[in-house]
Amino acid sequence: MQNDLRIISELDYFRLMNRISADIGDPEVDPCNLHRLYILLNTSRRLKPEEVGDDLVTMNSSVVLRNVRTGAKKIIQIVYPGEENTVTQTGEWKDEVTVYNPIALSVLGLKKQDIFFDWSGTQAEPVRIEQVLFQPESQKLFNL
């Protein structure tokens, strides 16, 4: 199971705090998810981007998630609001979820092999972060 302490890069922290400020009052943004993100950011350990391990889920990371009970697999990329459905440099489409999505809020700041519970269905499902396919910090892409 996961350690309750999340780790967030300082760049993600400041960018997301600015995003929260900009999105307060936006009728398309669920205030509960804004609040969840705010709490997550303020209860997480912050690291300089250069100190972030390559197994950590950060903004713009692509990760493989596997349902522990069923074995079903899903690949997602966590993006900033308004950046969904962008085409990658290789021309591929990504299954992108914004940071306000409950799944993104569940995995941001966790590490490879951590388990969280997905509450989007009729019952809580245990899900493991099986692999971090891409993480900007590991590639020294601090502008993403």
Q: Which of 5-9, 81-85, 123-127 has the lowest mean pLDDT?
A: 81-85
The domain locations on the chain are 7-137
pLDDT at 88 over 80: no
Looking at residue 141, its pLDDT comes to 63
Q: What confidence score (pLDDT) does residue 137 get?
A: 78
What is the second-level CATH architecture of the domain 7-137? Roll (3.10)
- Name the phi and psi angles at 40, rounded to 5: -55, -50
